[in-house]
Every structure is written in structure tokens, then in C-alpha cells.
Amino acid sequence: MTNPEYIRAIDLARKIAAEVGTPRFYLEREREVALSRELFASEPLVGKGLRIVGERGDCLGHGLTHARKVAIDVGALILIEQESNPVDASVRRLVLLGHLAGLLHDIRRSEKDHAERGADEAAGILTSFPIRDDECAGIAGAIRNHEAFRPFRTEAGPKARLLSDALYDADKFRWGPDNFTETLWAMVIPRGIPLRMLLPRFLPGLEGLRKIRESFRTVTGCEYGPDFIDRGLAIGRRLYGELTAI
């Protein structure tokens, strides 16, 4: 059973997040997010990817819920950046690759150099999928490039580069409100870390979030990413203040 002090902290974080409000991306780009979600739900290969990720279980807050959100946002970013109306077959295909990259990007999250190892693991998994070698290489390259504060490789070709940059940005969107409503607690509760030991790490952790603000890679990510981070920072500051005032 979850420690009562953590139950209170989670409830408080979610209350603050509701007051801080929904990131602009989901309000101003609702159409593209909805279309990505629709394509995600209707694609059999995505269903196969979901089953594979689901079998691995949650890993430090980076399980199926995180992967699903990242995947849908990757698809939305691709739809926005490609500006295809109606959406043509090549864009839909790239969205599918984005969905698969989002689902598989943290497949080796518990290991050192998880992006590099995850890229290799994903390439192996995708041998059973009906996708071309260059598409598999694009997904693996995107996964290899998704870690923050690490050098990244420039992918060959504009579509491979977009796939890579969109995965990075969608993953870093999760460093906003989700960091305090979901991910943080999924990381610390299974480890049994007392709340009193977590609080001294709060402010240094916020500094790490702040650094992400200027790292977004797509045009759309650069427009909306800082808003995610600013909302996350606002939640984190208020949450820390209220928890330390007890």
C-alpha cells in the first residue's frame, strides 16, 4: 500500500497541475493530436508494439503510459511539421514509424546508455515487423538520439531527421506537468524512498528541468516545448513550497 504521505503529495501535485492548466500544445493543436491518437488506435502494428512494451512492465516511471503518450505526441508533431492536408500516405507512414519509435524508445530504460542499447533492441524487435530496412534504421536512429544532454547524430534525410527530432521533443514534453503528476512518483514509490529524503533533491531537480527548456529540436517543439517546461516548473515550485510548509 502506498505511504499516506505520498498519496497526499500526489493528490496535491494533481490539484496544482489542474490549476496551472493544460499545455498550449493540446489546446492549439488539438486536431493533430486527435488524428495521431486515431491513427495510433487503428494500426495493427501499433497494437503489436503495445503488447511488446506492456510485457516489459514499468521501469522507473517509464512504462506503457509514458510510451503511449510519447508515441501519440510524436505522431502529432510529424503531422504538424509535414503540413499535409489531407494527410497523404507517406505522412501516415512516417506517423506510424513515429508511433513505433515512441513505443519502443525506453525499452532498455533500466540500463546504462539506455538510448544506445534501446536502439539496438528496437532494431532486433522490428525484424518481425513488415517495415523496410531504412524505416527500421530511422526508428533505431531516433531512439539513439532521444536522450537529453548527450551529443546526437544528424540522421540522413529530412524524414529520418524529423522522426528523430519529433521523438526527442515528444519525450521531453513529459518533463512538464507529467513529471510531477506521474513520473516522479512512479520512480520513487517502488524504491521506498521516504518523502523527507526526496524533498532536498527537489530544487536541484527543477534546475535540470530548466535546462531542457532550450533543447527542443523541431520548429513545433521549440514553439510549445518551453510552455510544457514552464508549467512543470510552476507545479514543482508550488508543490515543494506546500510540502515543506507542513
For the cut 80, the answer to whether the pLDDT of residue 48 exceeds it is yes
Contact partners, residue 209, CB within 8 Å, separation at least 6: 175, 179, 229, 232, 233, 236
pLDDT (tens digit, 9 = 90+) per residue, 89-101? 999 999 999 999 9
The C-alpha angle with vertex 91 and arms to 89 and 92, in degrees rounded to 5, equals 65
State the cell numbers at 93.
Answer: 507512414
Instruction: Please state, in angstroms and rounded to a whole number, the distance separating the CA atoms of residues 29 and 24.
Output: 8
Band the pLDDT of 197: cuts 50, 70, 90: confident
Domain range for residue 226?
A: 4-244
How many structural domains compose the chain?
1
Instruction: Please state, in angstroms and rounded to a whole number, the distance separating the CA atoms of residues 183 and 78.
Output: 25
Q: How much is the pTM? A: 0.93
Band the pLDDT of 1: cuts 50, 70, 90: very low
CATH number, domain of 60, equals 1.10.3210.10
Q: Distance of CA 101 to CAs 142, 158, 163, Å?
A: 7, 16, 8
Band the pLDDT of 153: cuts 50, 70, 90: confident
Contact partners, residue 157, CB within 8 Å, separation at least 6: none
Asked if residue 130 has a cis previous peptide bond (ω within 30° of 0), the answer is no
pLDDT (tens digit, 9 = 90+) per residue, 63-122? 788 999 999 999 999 999 998 777 899 999 999 999 999 999 988 776 678 888 889 999
**Do 102 and 61 touch, CB atoms closer than 8 A?**
no
